[in-house]
Structure 1
Amino acid sequence: MGSWISTWSQDPADRDLPALLCLPPAGAGCQQFRSWQPELNGIAQVYGVQLPGRENRWGEAMPDTFGEAVTAIAAELEATLGDRPLVVFGHSFGGLIGYEVARRVTPRALLVSGCRAPTHWDGAGRGIVDDGEELDKLFDTAGLDPALLDEDTRTVMVGMLRKDAQLSLSYVHRPDGLLPVPVHAWGADGDETVSSADLDGWAAVTSAGLTRRTVTGGHHAVLRHPRPVLDHLAVLLRAEGAPLTQAG
């Protein structure tokens, strides 16, 4: 079994910096966060979560349940980081995984974008598994026209999306305690898959407060134009031991 956690920094000094853990959306790998490391040099060491079935874990099978994936990620993360300060960022499906990981490792803050609150997640992704309208909508919000993709590329993308969506359907939210860290939820005014109410729902799962921000664009606006969220993350990461409820 390959590693669940990737990093792109080779400087040993970076291991004295706070850590930023990034979780990609459904159907994607974590290599997209490689470009975030130079943007945060001297501020944080960037790590990515890599689910099986993509990029360097192409030949590996997906876990049977959502909980199995979260348990494996949290265990490897604790072994990798020790007691270093940590901020978790997750986009869309990655935000849901990030939330459950945060419940196990207690970072300084959780930042999610384009992600329904856990209490709003029931049934999300079923349209992807069933190859319904939701699958076409995800291609559209990613700026991809399925008709312009070659058959092999579309098959690979659909396969990864379906595997992640199937994994998400095994998720059950258990309200057995509030997350004791602040949540920062970002949305986009053109997102047709995650509503403002879905984002406001994050207030119900944290005892440390919710900060809401909105950008212009579709579902993947934050990933397409990450400068605002990178600036926000830099503030959180620089705070280190200070109470992050005062940042942003």
Structure 2
Amino acid sequence: MCLIFCLPHAGGGAHHYFGWAAHLAPDIQWEPLDYAGHFSRMDEPAYATFEQAVEDLAAVMIARAGGRPFALFGHSMGGALAYEIAQYLAARQLAKDLSFIAVSSALPPHRRDPNMPRYYELPDRDFIQHLIDTGGMTAQLAAQAELMASYLPLIRQDYRLYHQYQPPSHPPLSTPLYALWGEEEEDRNDNMPAWADYSHAFNGSKAYPGDHFYWRHGLGAVAADISAIASQASTGQTCRR
């Protein structure tokens, strides 16, 4: 059994990824996580810093894994968290049980634009329109005023957290790393292959048809590739794509 923890995008939650399990190989235990202060963890304080998120999520994973090997899949902000968690574990000699990480639509640390727009500071109307334009929210959902009143602050906090993330200088990982993204993300097309610089065991990269949420357009293909990566990791093989 291969245990894979899934880290959501900014404002996302475990529930966004529940449908994946049916498309993955039967020997994969798919475990999407919620961030503190979000959804199933609403009674907890939200993270104040990116570093706090890394420490908390690493502790959650270690506890849930119970000594078993595990892997990480992180989309967008979740991809950056997956990378930093891998570094956190490596620095503490705890990475021996980390099988691989799959970084989805998260720019490599040195390719992040330090002058990126502060979307989280936009007025509600403009911020919601940004979320709709990027596929992070439907117009139907945005029209539910009561839901938006409780949901928007979560998304803003995640955006703020990710914007304030200052990647430290780390040595390359020894953990296998794989990068994937949507081919309509033009900045990702140019930059995602640079994840090769962040692991001595880089597994390769692949662009899929679609936008930032490319897996919504072809989850079967994405899940098949993740299943293959998990199988290769369990046998000590690497996949070059």
What TM-score does the superposition give when structure 2 sets the normalisation length?
0.83
Percent identity of equivalent pairs: 23
Kindly report the root-mean-square deviation, in angstroms, between the aligned alpha carbons of the 2 structures: 2.6
**Paired residue for 2:189?**
196
Out of 215, 218, 235, the position equivalent to 1:242 is 235
2:173 is aligned with 1:182: no
2:146 is aligned with 1:152: yes
> Counterparts of 1:200 and 1:247 in 2: how far apart (Å)?
12
Decide whether aligned partners of structure 1 residues 208 and 37 sit closer, same or farther in structure 2, where only a CA change above 3 A counts: same
Decide whether aligned partners of structure 1 residues 147 and 100 sit closer, same or farther in structure 2, where only a CA change above 3 A counts: closer
Name the SS for the 1:47 alignment partner. Answer: strand
Out of 219, 229, 240, the position equivalent to 1:226 is 219
Please state how far the C-alpha of 1:125 moved relative to its aligned partner: 6.5
> Counterparts of 2:140 and 2:169 in 1: how far apart (Å)?
39
> Counterparts of 1:18 and 1:210 in 2: how far apart (Å)?
17
**Paired residue for 1:217?**
210
Describe how 1:1-248 pairs up with structure 2 within 5 A: 17-40=1-24, 42-103=26-87, 104=89, 105-106=94-95, 107-121=98-112, 123=114, 126-131=117-122, 136-142=129-135, 144-145=138-139, 149-191=143-185, 194-246=187-239
Decide whether aligned partners of structure 1 residues 241 and 101 sit closer, same or farther in structure 2, where only a CA change above 3 A counts: same
Which stretches in structure 2 are left out of the alignment for 5+ residues?
Answer: none
Please state how far the C-alpha of 1:94 moved relative to its aligned partner: 0.7
Number of aligned residues: 231
Decide whether aligned partners of structure 1 residues 95 and 223 sit closer, same or farther in structure 2, where only a CA change above 3 A counts: farther
> Counterparts of 1:147 and 1:37 in 2: how far apart (Å)?
25
Please state how far the C-alpha of 1:83 moved relative to its aligned partner: 3.7
Name the SS for the 1:38 alignment partner. Answer: helix
> Counterparts of 2:48 and 2:26 in 1: how far apart (Å)?
38
Deviates more, 1:116-125 or 1:228-237: 116-125
What TM-score does the superposition give when structure 1 sets the normalisation length?
0.81
Contact 2:232–2:239, Cα closer than 8 Å, also in 1: no
> Counterparts of 2:230 and 2:193 in 1: how far apart (Å)?
24
Decide whether aligned partners of structure 1 residues 122 and 171 sit closer, same or farther in structure 2, where only a CA change above 3 A counts: farther
> Counterparts of 2:4 and 2:240 in 1: how far apart (Å)?
16
Please state how far the C-alpha of 1:20 moved relative to its aligned partner: 0.8
Deviates more, 1:228-237 or 1:31-40: 31-40
Name the SS for the 1:108 alignment partner. Answer: strand
> Counterparts of 1:39 and 1:45 in 2: how far apart (Å)?
12
Name the SS for the 2:60 alignment partner. Answer: helix
Which stretches in structure 1 are left out of the alignment for 5+ residues?
Answer: 1-16
Decide whether aligned partners of structure 1 residues 239 and 201 sit closer, same or farther in structure 2, where only a CA change above 3 A counts: closer
Name the SS for the 1:245 alignment partner. Answer: coil
